[in-house]
Homo-oligomer: A and B are copies of this chain.
Amino acid sequence: MVVPETFFAERTSLLKTSEIRELLKWVVEGDIISFGGGMPSPATFPRQWIIKIVTEGISEHGDKLLQYGTTQGLKELRLELKNFMEWRGIKTPSIDNIVVLSGSQQGLDILGRIFINQGDTVLMELPTYLAAINAFKPYNPELIGLKMDDKGIIMESLENTLKELKSKNKKVKFLYTVPTCQNPAGVTLSEERRKHLLELASEYDFLIIEDDPYSLILYEPIHVAPLKSMDTEGRVIYLSTFSKILSPGLRLGWVVADSDFADKFVLAKQSMDLCTSPLLQYIAYMALKKGLIQKNLKEICTLYKTKRDKMLEALETYFPEGCKWTTPIGGLFIFAWVPEKVNTKELVYECVKKYKVAYVPGQSFFVDGSGTNTMRLNFSYPSMDEIEEGIKRLAQAIKEKL
């Protein structure tokens, strides 16, 4: 059977493969140092602890954990998440404001599904999380980029965008942001701007999607309040994940939202995968209940801080003049700008082939197509030696282009 592209639904042509994942596939084979991907260090996975919990869980509750579960998620886990969220300053009236997701990626997909009509306006940071772009695109929105500096979204720029859209009679459906230790830029929205952002959301009547995978992976003694904790109007839909604080292989995330929204999440999820594995949910439940998450966080942050510092030091030592990079207070990434004449998308193939080092070219993170001279560098996965050696190789590749 010959299948022409037109046989598929129109939206299928909007599905794009993530360059990061394509790159990762490459890099798995061969002797390449990779700053691509966004993988936690396997050293942070509590292996023995998970074995113990699975053993106890299946022995005692196997009939429930190996069975179908409810779409909302395990009640026990949602109760623990409610407490966990309160500890983070986010008060929820009921566990029904929390829905367990098969990774926070599923939350992004559901957002697209329940909110985006073709042509709807969605605001995103420049640069922003690539998998969010790819999750929204099949629903065919108009994606508008927002300028950032080292304190996150520039409020004047946002306000101008909002005014302009209003003058065109266009309403914003939602603004998607990773306000803390942003992926890929590594910047954190200041407290003052957080307040301002919420005021603008109220004035211009739009939703804020707060994607918050990294705010507990901090390397400086800075307290950052989630936007959701400052939200008095129910405008913030909060997404987070166990991927960076426990294990990404469990594929567990959650959403916190007003019941109008949470109910729609449940409805959408039901037809997408019925429910998330109760067995995996049980692991996360026990990790919260027994305090493992908080305990492990210290070790994770210590490990990653050392790696971040190593990468910053290597960048300082080896990168040529005309380059700059962010100094993230947390998260897994440093974002770098090389001289404008260097196209990092072209450079990466050479880097992999000749220099045996990989990164993610930044351009695909920019919904306006800019960022041709940028790159995202992950420091959580590579070893200390690889960080030193990899940055050295990368610097050589860049120098050769200048």
A183, B23: Cα distance in complex, Å? 42
A235: nearest chain-B partner, CB-CB: B1
Whole-angstrom distance between the Cβ of A276 and the nearest chain B Cβ:
7
Task: Provide the A236-252 mask, 1 if CB < 8 A to any CB of B, else 0.
Answer: 00000001000111110
* CB-defined contacts of A67 to chain B, threshold 8 Å: 39-40, 42, 45, 247-249
Q: Given A65-B249, A248-B66, does the pair A51, B58 have CB atoms closer than 8 Å? A: yes
A120, B6: Cα distance in complex, Å? 13
* CB-defined contacts of A105 to chain B, threshold 8 Å: 271-274
Q: Does A115 lie at the interface of the complex (its beta carbon under 8 Å from any beta carbon of B)?
A: yes
B58 touches A50 (CB 8 A): yes
A201, B268: Cα distance in complex, Å? 31
Q: Does A8 lie at the interface of the complex (its beta carbon under 8 Å from any beta carbon of B)?
A: yes
A120, B58: Cα distance in complex, Å? 45
Across the interface, A50 reaches (CB within 8 A) one of B39, B66, B120, B264, namely B66
Measured as residues with beta carbon below 8 angstroms from the partner, the interface class of chain A is: 35 or more
Quick one: copies of this chain in the complex? 2
Q: Does A117 lie at the interface of the complex (its beta carbon under 8 Å from any beta carbon of B)?
A: yes
Q: Does A186 lie at the interface of the complex (its beta carbon under 8 Å from any beta carbon of B)?
A: no
Q: Looking at the complex, which of A131-139, A217-225, A387-395 is the stretch in contact with chain B? A: A131-139
Task: Provide the A57-101 mask, 1 if CB < 8 A to any CB of B, else 0.
Answer: 011001111111111000000000000000000000000000000
Across the interface, A51 reaches (CB within 8 A) one of B9, B55, B69, B272, namely B55
A67: nearest chain-B partner, CB-CB: B249
Whole-angstrom distance between the Cβ of A107 and the nearest chain B Cβ:
10
A135: nearest chain-B partner, CB-CB: B271
* CB-defined contacts of A247 to chain B, threshold 8 Å: 66-67
Whole-angstrom distance between the Cβ of A389 and the nearest chain B Cβ:
21
A264 touches B8 (CB 8 A): yes
What are 29 pairs between A and B in contact, CB < 8 Å?
A1-B258, A9-B120, A9-B139, A12-B113, A12-B115, A15-B114, A15-B264, A15-B268, A17-B270, A18-B270, A21-B70, A21-B270, A47-B58, A47-B59, A51-B54, A67-B247, A102-B251, A102-B273, A103-B274, A105-B271, A105-B274, A113-B138, A131-B274, A134-B270, A135-B271, A249-B278, A251-B274, A251-B277, A272-B272
